[in-house]
Chain A
Amino acid sequence: MTLDTAESIREESVETARERPRKAPRAKEFGVPPPAYDPSAPEDVTILPVGSPTTVRSYVRELLRRHRRTFILLIAVNTVAVVASMAGPQLLGGVVDGLADGERDLHLGRVVALFTAALVIQTVFTQQVRLRGSVLGEEMLADLREDFLVRSVQLPPGVLERAGTGDLLSRITTDIDRLGDAMRRAVPQLAIAVVWMVLLLAALGFTAPPLALAVLLTLPVLVPGCRWYFRRAPRSYRAEAAGYAAVAAALAETVDSGRTVEAHRLGARRIALSERRIAEWTAWERRTLWLRTVLFPVINLSNMLVLGGVLILGGIFVLQGWISVGQLTTGALLAQMLIEPVELILRWYDELQVAQVSLARLVGVREIEPDNGDSAVTPDGQEVRATDVRFGYHDGVDVLHGVTLEVPPGTRVALVGPSGAGKSTLGRLLAGVYGPRRGEVTLGGAELTDMPAEEVRRHVALVNQEHHVFVGSLRDNLLLARPEAADAELWAALGAVDADGWATALDDGLDCEVGSGGVTVTPAQAQQIALARLVLADPHTLVLDEATSLLDPRAARHLERSLAHVLDGRTVVAIAHRLHTAHDADVIAVVEDGRISELGSHDALVSAGGPYAALWRSWHG
């Protein structure tokens, strides 16, 4: 085993820091025990499922089936390369036999010609093996990441809303990265090494069957050693990689939060944190180094046992006259060649074990039922109505307790109330993101939960604080709302939200690259892009979840004008953190403790002298 193992580990991808105190290690073992703290233990609640072994297995089978041809081709070229590589030992064995028998004519010309021919074949096919291996690995890897994204974009909006995107994000970045090495190298290398080893053993048995016995000598050393190692290795390497990532993550956070760190004088603490992370990471490095300190002698010993066994046993066999000197020579050289595939297998095997965990996380997304609305259900009319709706995120804890609200077409309803009262939840139910636990939410008489998401969004859109500007051209950012729209329509939409001014000023107009890495758009512009999308998507009902609250006042005022253009002629349910938004609504619903406690126009509520009136007075005090 060479240092390559360590290097492959260094190449491990960087991932976000995760941590959680672990239970105390089990029985004490000799050497360096695993550190008590495991940085790879998941910190966040895994909200999305992790694939079961069955799902993983069936996916791997499917993947292999898809790439059957490449796989078979790899095995084939590999077989040719390995067989060609055995020509040298065979030919030398013949030469030695001849020399031992005192022959004068060894057909040296023919030997050299054959050797050269075999070398040419070996060279060409080795190049092919390497290339085919990469082709296979890369194709599988590309499939994996594309499959994952395909599944991700089919997730029901309710699942996304609840799970957030963090879990998915870490899967598409960290887990894909981790699988990269496994797919790119471990799978092809293992395939190559196994074929290689089998062929060498076969050749050894073919050359001199008694010599194959020498291989058995290694089993008592190799098998227990590897079992010991592989039982401990995957977890330790996982922890080590996560620990290393945590070092980088701590630093990245210090850099990212430079202002806060400086303002709160946290510099010394950040340094201490980084050093703690380094100590945690290196503790696992010590652990894995110890594991290898056991494994290396085992491997070296088995290698030498094979070679020594072949040489000494073979020597005895020659003395006994069971095999020839040539067979001994060939056998010894073949035994020497065995070292490499064995090392390859040992080196990549634990990589594959680590990869399995990531694969399970990626495949887990397949276990979520895609959202199966009935496309036959279509609304008749535009009225949104919630009837005695009860809903909670956790069993037994309702956030909404029997809310009934009617939103006639064309009206503006404002939901106001303190944080945590259930305003946003009610908004999401009205937009069909969640289905109620009891009661029903209907659009034009049809239940929202019975419709597929693609149908619901033609009628109702939820606009929240998330004004994601996608990496890509401004055109792509708008086209997503109406893929078939022509440029003129896009410009019209931008014009409708007062964004055509700055958009025209961009160097490439609609082709301008925005999002991270491209032209930086201000939060206000991001919001205008989001509004322009709404103009293009053209739903008749909008649920605004405090769309402008994160913006600074001046930008917000400007945006409210853009917003007004968008809202014109649509039914609007606005969740208002700020009272001036509420003031203009036709109906204000005050939500408190999951119930609607007041309902009416601004003037009516102010004169009623209830909680809304009190708040309004302090706002304008």
Chain B
Amino acid sequence: MQIRDLPYADPGVPDVRSGFRLLVWLGRNQLGGQLKALAWGVLHLASIALFPVVAGLAVEAAVDRSGERLAVAGAVMTVVTLTVALGDTMLHRVAVTNWITAAARVQQLLARRAAALGSTLTRRVAAGEVVAVSTGDIERIGWCVEAVSRFSAALLTTLAVCAALVVYEPQIGLLACAGMLALALTVLPLLPRATRRADFQRERAGRATELAADTVAGLRVLRGIGGEELFLSRYRRVSQEVRRAAVRTARMWALIEAVQVAIPGLLLVGVVWYGTGLALDGRITAGELVMAYGAMTFLLFPLRLFGEFAMSYSFSRPSAARAARVLSLHRSSESAEAGAGASPGPGATGVAGVDRVAGVDRVAGVDRVAGGASPVPPPSGSVCVPDAGDAGDAADTAGLYDPVSGLHAAAGQLTAVVCGDPDEAGRLAERLGGHPVDEPGEDEAGQDEPVEGGTRRQDTVVGETVVGEVEAQGEAGPPREAGIGTGTGSAPGHAGHRSAVLDGVPLDAMPLEAARTAVLVQDKDPMLLSGTLAELLDVPSSGAVGVHQALEAAHCSDVLTALVQGSPDAEGDPMRARLTERGRSLSGGQRQRLALARSLITDPDVLVLDEPTSAVDSHTEARIARSLRQLRQGRTTVVFSSSPLLLDRADRVVFVHDGTASAEGTHRELVRTDAAYRAVVTREPEPEPEPEPEPAGPPGGALTRTAKTEGAKSA
């Protein structure tokens, strides 16, 4: 594998059973590169090891006054020079290539994981872990994997030099061996302590950066209200703490370095002492003494590689463990689809959080196994919709239906939903898209729970129906095993989750991709991905709604102007203007409108918008309400909002109170008849007891006035 061929077409399936196995897997995947590095490493070190020999030859030639042998030494020197240069350069090239290919492979695996985990990542600790792996851990992992071959090369050469010394002059050779051992035994125990201190220092430094970034982020507040000195002194304190921690780490490294000077130095003293004795006895020549001295200094070089390898391993062990953990995260729908072979198996502990969505997704997976390539629509007769009592007939009609709240959005209509509790609105909106994710509150629960015991928090009806069908076909065993084997827990006691139903089909029973294609839920805080505006708006879509049409409908003209002004590169073309990370350079209202435009471009069969214009001013909101209705003509649209400007444009308004759809009708009707509804949308302090609006107040007055003029149109 060469760097120019990166990225891999397929990064492969990693062995994520443990950090160590991941390292081995990565190493095995670049065996060729490892062997090459080993070969070049041996050449490099062996050439360097020849160096003292040349020096000895030259000195001896000088002692013996032999010009001829000096010339020989010169010739050998030239050859050695070339092989050192060649070995060093090629070793470096191969080693760096190994490092980069390993790092790129892990990055690719991570990207795939993150894309597959999607929404299950956002509310979990796992999100931080993925980023930690990609920013710091990969470097250490690549380093360790790559260092193996260099370490082996160093080990081989060292052994060879020691062996040569032992053969040549046993006492000096044994002295060298003893010295190497002593050095290893002294330094190795110090390394973990040094890395611990380094970790602490890094953590402190991270804290300081965080404080500085936090202070700068809130700088406008500080400048507007005061408190600069307070925060400066606080930062100075932390900054000095970092300095002290760093010096403490340096103390340890300084000690290690001193040991690395002292022990080889003692060896050299020993060589001089003992060797001079030998030379005086005439057993070795002066040149050989120089050679032995030189060989000893050479040994320092591979020693450093030993130290480096020990360090890289101690650094990378926790990193590899974390990487293995992250790479083993999965939605269980994937595992059911991919089969047990590709997935990490039950050994993956501590990742229960993400697995817990299993309950919902697994059914989809099983369904897909049963239903074949085209799971939509599933066999219609077999799906029985729950709670037929209050809304069974509603589900039969076309449109989107939520059995939990009883909310029904008729096909082809603009339905507005008013929900007193914003959190509940968020949950309801998410449910409308199918395949919802756990609430964060349940994260701690069920961490280590056995799988088999846990019942799905999703209600049984959809699951049983589909699974039952699979069993009838006699295929239930394997896929179900796969699903259960990989799920690690379930949220206990969360009753009442039932899938939203689209045109009679439970969304949770569809594969994730199909459900997301059918229904697009734009949540309260949609993210703008960085890149150019053209890239932002280039989303999978039906193709029916053009970019400009959508931008116009979302009234983005001032956003475009702002983008062009902030992006001189774009040369006046807003589509080439760049959005900064999360669109931070734009105001909240501008971000909302861009997100809305993006959703409009997607043009899904069903579009669910949660408070799409909460930060938009009234003037613009009124215009958006009008064009939204026009653009989505004949399509199913659900808007969560409490703004009269939007509600008034809806075909129907459903008021969800305490989790159930308690009233529905047009905005005007509901304002007239439902006091609780009126309290939410007009922001009167408390719902008044009498249902009729008092004629004196402006809300009531305005209502009656306009109801007359526009009443006919909406009816």
Contact = CB atoms under 8 A, between A and B. Distances in A.
A173 to B, nearest CB: 5
A557 B217 contact: no
A553 B644 CA distance: 12
Interface of chain A: mostly helix, strand, loop or mixed: helix
A43 B577 CA distance: 10
Contacts of A128: 254
Contacts, number: 545
B171 to A, nearest CB: 16
Contact of A577 (B217, B272, B617, B706): B617
A152 B118 contact: no
Contacts of A106: 276, 280
A285 B96 contact: yes
B62 A274 contact: no
B124 to A, nearest CB: 9
B529 A99 contact: no
Nearest to A467: B221
A36 interface: no
Given A145-B208, A251-B130, A282-B3, A300 B89 contact: yes
A619 B80 CA distance: 88
Contact of A480 (B222, B539, B569): B222
Interface in B36-83: 51, 54-55, 58-59, 61-63, 65, 67, 70, 73-74, 77-78, 80-81
Contacts of A168: 216, 219
Contacts of A418: 617, 619-620
Interface string A143-177: 00110011011111100110011101100110011
A385 interface: no
B246 interface: yes
Interface-centre pick from A124, A177, A461, A553 (highest chain B CB count, 10 A)? A553
Nearest to A120: B262
A376 to B, nearest CB: 20
A468 B257 contact: no
A85 to B, nearest CB: 8
B107 interface: yes
Given A95-B276, A270-B111, A304-B80, A552 B95 contact: no
Contact of B220 (A10, A141, A285, A466): A466
A407 B584 CA distance: 32
B250 A304 contact: no
Interface string B201-237: 0000100111111111111111111111111101110
A173 B85 contact: no
Nearest to B58: A311
B135 A248 contact: yes
Contacts of A104: 280
A160 B220 contact: yes
A621 B622 CA distance: 12
Contact of B297 (A150, A318, A336): A336
Contact of B112 (A271, A311, A553): A271
A506 to B, nearest CB: 18
Contacts of A256: 122, 127, 527, 582
A264 B107 contact: no
Interface stretch (A58-66, A286-294, A437-445, A497-505): A286-294
A252 interface: yes
Contacts of A138: 242-243, 246-247, 250
Interface stretch (A108-116, A229-237, A351-359): A108-116
B225 A457 contact: yes
A456 B633 CA distance: 53
Interface in A240-269: 247-268
Contacts of A517: 210
A512 interface: no
B29 interface: no
B485 to A, nearest CB: 24
A399 B614 CA distance: 25
A169 B584 CA distance: 12
Contact of B526 (A133, A251, A260): A260
A259 B257 contact: no
Contacts of A577: 589, 615-618
A89 to B, nearest CB: 9
B134 interface: yes
By size class, the interface of chain A is 35 or more
B119 A258 contact: yes
Interface-centre pick from B51, B134, B136 (highest chain A CB count, 10 A)? B134
A325 B286 contact: yes
B67 A319 contact: yes
Interface string B117-144: 1111110000100110011100100110
Interface stretch (A194-202, A203-211, A471-479): A471-479
Interface of chain B: mostly helix, strand, loop or mixed: helix
A173 B581 contact: no
Contact of B231 (A135, A153, A254, A579): A153
Contacts of A316: 67, 70
Nearest to A300: B85
Contact of B619 (A145, A332, A615): A615
Given A169-B213, A278-B7, A479 B230 contact: yes
B226 A20 contact: no
Interface in A523-558: 530, 533-534, 537, 546, 549-550, 552-555, 557
B115 A481 contact: no
A45 interface: yes
A173 B209 contact: yes
Interface stretch (B362-370, B383-391, B517-525): B517-525
Interface in B179-213: 205, 208-213
B27 interface: no
Interface string A428-470: 0001000000000000000000000110010001101110101
Contacts of A311: 54-55, 58, 73-74, 77
Contact of A149 (B4, B96, B232, B261): B232
A178 to B, nearest CB: 12
A608 interface: no
Interface-centre pick from A160, A261, A279 (highest chain B CB count, 10 A)? A261
Contacts of A481: 225-227
Contacts of A145: 208, 212, 239
Interface string B648-682: 10000000000000000001100000000000101
Contacts of A606: 698
Interface-centre pick from B84, B421, B614, B620 (highest chain A CB count, 10 A)? B614
B472 interface: no
Interface in A305-346: 305, 307-308, 311-312, 314-316, 318-319, 325, 328-329, 332-333, 336
B276 A111 contact: yes
Contacts of B614: 549-550, 552-553
A431 to B, nearest CB: 8
Nearest to B248: A134
A228 interface: no
A1 B88 contact: yes
B444 interface: no
Given A267-B118, A577-B615, A618-B622, A307 B520 contact: no
Given A139-B243, A168-B216, A418-B617, A122 B232 contact: no
Interface stretch (B18-26, B287-295, B335-343, B457-465): B287-295
A182 to B, nearest CB: 14
A43 B579 CA distance: 10
A565 interface: no
B644 A619 contact: yes
B347 interface: no
18 contacts: A45-B566, A116-B269, A123-B265, A150-B232, A172-B213, A267-B115, A275-B108, A301-B85, A308-B78, A311-B55, A312-B73, A315-B73, A318-B65, A457-B226, A464-B220, A549-B588, A554-B422, A621-B702
Q: Top 5 nearest A-B pairs by Cβ distance?
A: A480-B227, A262-B118, A134-B250, A620-B702, A274-B111
Given A248-B134, A304-B84, A549-B589, 5 more contacts: A3-B91, A44-B566, A126-B258, A312-B70, A419-B589
